[in-house]
Each structure stands twice: as structure tokens, then as C-alpha cells.
Amino acid sequence: MMKLRLMKRFFDTVDEKWKSPIVDKIAARWFNGGIDARVLRASANFVVVIKAEDRRYFLRFNHSSERTIEFIAAELEYIMHLRGRGVNANAPVKSLNGNYLESVETEMGLFHCVVFEGLPGAQIESEELDLDGFERWGASLGGLHEASYGYQDPRIPSWKDHAEFVRETVTEPVILKELASLEKRLESLPVGDNYGVSHYDFEQDNLFWENGVPGILDFDDFVYFWYTCDIANALQDLHHRTSNEYDPEDPRIQAFVKGYRSKKRITDEELRTIPLVILFDKIYVYARLVRSIEGSETPDEPEWVTNLRGKLAKNNEETLEYIKENPLGRD
């Protein structure tokens, strides 16, 4: 989640038709007019849907204070590696200047920008999947991990970088104590063929299904972690990001794991670490929301900003109470 203050500044430029002069300026790097560009959403990134010549594209851009150009370049190279290994990942599009990545100076400062081809198919909700669907979902993730295993790039962060971000951002003693205990457990885990570049957001929002097979987008949260983090995050609708609600006997989870194992080996012992990575993600999200909310209040702010800040603050209050009550990760 980006800083709310930044999000508010951008949406001040967006009209009732979801258009913005900032978007027009950025899109001109890829298109010579004749397009329909409308803001879709803002969370970690600003995302715009562009329709041009009966084709759909997604423009994604980040303020330079949120993402470095080196990080985004690493993401694009990783996507191209995966596509070369047969993974159905959304393809970046070259700009009119022949670049996959453009940096554009605007009235709000510098934005790093990319355009992706729209994936064919449709998005679905996890509750719409039968057991066969969960199995195919798991197989897609297993295939992704098989293709990513062994990939090395020092620009890609690791879970330890995420832990350091938490320490730099959070002052709440309960969270920091839990993180310290959790780190000890994670550091004791073997780093073998169940560790590598992970998508970290392999949920249905980032999948487009066609003919029973999901295409994958949004790799911008990629991180070196145990691959079980992707299983945990993918299935978060089943455990609500709470480790004590994760039930490995759930037939949907078992179907997902069966599909995963059809593409990538994973042991029962490795799967038993899933509650740990669920907790780690919960703490990491807490820190990201702290950063997003910090300093976001402004005079005469629109109601949507007030409401969103309240929603994020409530999420963190619930996380804090959960960690106070749940012993997982403590010495």
C-alpha cells in the first residue's frame, strides 16, 4: 500500500470519468493518441486500463518515492525469464522509444511506468472454484516455482529485507517482539529447493483464467522466501490471514497441494511451516499499513481518504489484538 497522502494527491487530478492529465502524459510514451485510458485502482501501484485498437492494456506506475527504477527493472527481467520458461505471465510492452520501462516527470514528481498486455480470460473468486479448480490453481503455482527455482538477482529483496523494513517502520513493542521470535524460527528452516523467488500475491485478483488455466500478473511483490508463502497467501480467503484458522485437512487445501505437487516437490514437513509464513505476512502487512497511514491527515480531506485510513487503522488494531492473543511465534 502506497502512502495515502500520495494517493490523495493523484486522485485530486482524476475527473468523474476516471481520467487524469498525468495518465495522459504517461500513456503518450506508449500510444500516439486514439486510446481510452481510465484509472482502475491504486494500492501499491497506480493502475490504468487502456483500450487501444480493440486491445486492452494495463498501465502501471509508481512514484519514485515508492519504488526504485532498479527494482522495477528487476521485476521485468524476471517476468521475461518466466515467459521464456513457458509461464503464462503478462507481457510488458515496449514504449514508442523502444523501452519497457519509462520514467516520466509530472506535476507530482517522477513516476516509473510500465505497460502490460492484458491477459485473455476472466477473473474469478476462489469460492467459485470446485476441487478440480483448486488443483489446477495449485498446479499453476507449482509450475511457477519450478520455473523460478535457482533464479538469482541481487536487486530482488528477501524476507530478511522485509523483516528489516518492519523494524524500521514499527514502534509497537508487541509486534517487534513477535517478529524477533518469528525470525528465530524462520532462520532455523533449511534453505533448499523450497526456497526461491516467490510471487507473494498469488491470489485470484492477480489471475486471469482461460480454458481452465490461470494466467499470472502483478509480480511487483516478488521476494526471496520459502515457496510456502505463496501457498499461504494464495489461500488466504480460507484462513483469513490467521494461522490458527489454517486447516491442512480442508479438501480445498489438499486439492491445491495435490496440484502443486504435480509440478513441484514439497514435503509435509515444509507444508507444516505455513502457519509461520502466515504470521510473517501479517506482521509485514501491519508495517506497510503503518507507513501508508503515517502523516496522511490533511485539512479538508475527502471522505474517501478518511474512510480508507480508518479501515487500514482498524485492520492494524485487529492484527495487534490477534498477535497479543495468539502464541504462535513466541519463545
CA distance 23 to 61: 9
CA distance 111 to 108: 8
The grid cell for 298 is 490533511
The grid cell for 199 is 510471487
DSSP 92: B
Dihedral angle of Cα 260, 261, 266, 271, to the nearest 10 degrees:
60
Task: Let me know: does 228 contact 251? Beta carbons within 8 Å.
Answer: no
Over the chain (331 residues), the average pLDDT of each successive run of 10 is 95 96 97 94 95 94 97 98 96 97 98 96 93 97 97 97 98 96 94 95 95 94 97 92 86 97 96 94 97 88 94 96 75 40
Delimit the domains of the chain by residue range.
4-117, 126-325
CA distance 327 to 178: 9
CA distance 322 to 167: 19
Taken as a whole, the chain contains a residue count of 331
CA distance 11 to 199: 28
Amino acid identity of 145?
H
Q: What per-residue confidence (pLDDT) applies to 291?
A: 97
Half-sphere exposure of 325 (CA within 13 A, CB side): 9
CA distance 84 to 122: 23
Half-sphere exposure of 184 (CA within 13 A, CB side): 9
* Domain 126-325 indexed as CATH 3.90.1200.10: yes
Q: What per-residue confidence (pLDDT) applies to 293?
A: 95
The grid cell for 90 is 503478462
DSSP 171: -
The top-level CATH class assigned to 4-117 is: alpha beta
Q: Which helix (H) or strand (E) holds 69?
A: helix 69-84
Is pTM beyond 0.85? Reply is yes
Packing angle of the helix pair 173-187, 274-293 (nearest 10 deg): 140
- What lies within 8 Å, CB to CB, of 167 at 6+ separation is 176, 179
Q: What per-residue confidence (pLDDT) applies to 300?
A: 83
Place of cell 498501465: 59
Packing angle of the helix pair 159-169, 173-187 (nearest 10 deg): 160
